[in-house]
Amino acid sequence: MLKSEEAFVLLDIREPWELSRASWDDARIKLAPLSQIAQHGIEALFEDSQIVVACHHGIRSAQVTRWLLSQGLADVVSLRGGIEAYALDVDLSVGRY
């Protein structure tokens, strides 16, 4: 479970095969694989929420964060280190791959 009590949406952009390797258990998580992200209409879904974008190591999430910012969303950040850093630093029960 994510520890922060702040209001945000965590946008997990990992591919379906990655989700079976490591996952988080939190209602704030929305899945939108990078390969399909342009089809999801993400901007409209989360325009009133802070968006934290996450992937495996933080590389893809940084790219998507830049793209979302370029689309006019203002409150978007990338989870530095991705789910890998989260598994190492916050919740050791999260799988690693």
pTM of the model: 0.83
pLDDT digits (tens, 9 = 90+) for 50-87: 999 999 999 999 999 999 899 888 899 999 999 999 99
Cα-based distances in Å from 42 to 7, 12, 60, 85: 17, 12, 16, 24
Is 45 a residue whose pLDDT tops 90?
A: no
Is 22 a residue whose pLDDT tops 60?
A: yes
Report the CATH fold assignment for 9-89. Answer: Oxidized Rhodanese; domain 1 (3.40.250)
Is 8 a residue whose pLDDT tops 70?
A: yes
- Please give the pLDDT value at position 1: 42
Is 90 a residue whose pLDDT tops 60?
A: yes
- Please give the pLDDT value at position 52: 94
Domain ranges of the chain: 9-89
Q: Please, which pLDDT band fits residue 18 given cuts at 50, 70 and 90? A: very high
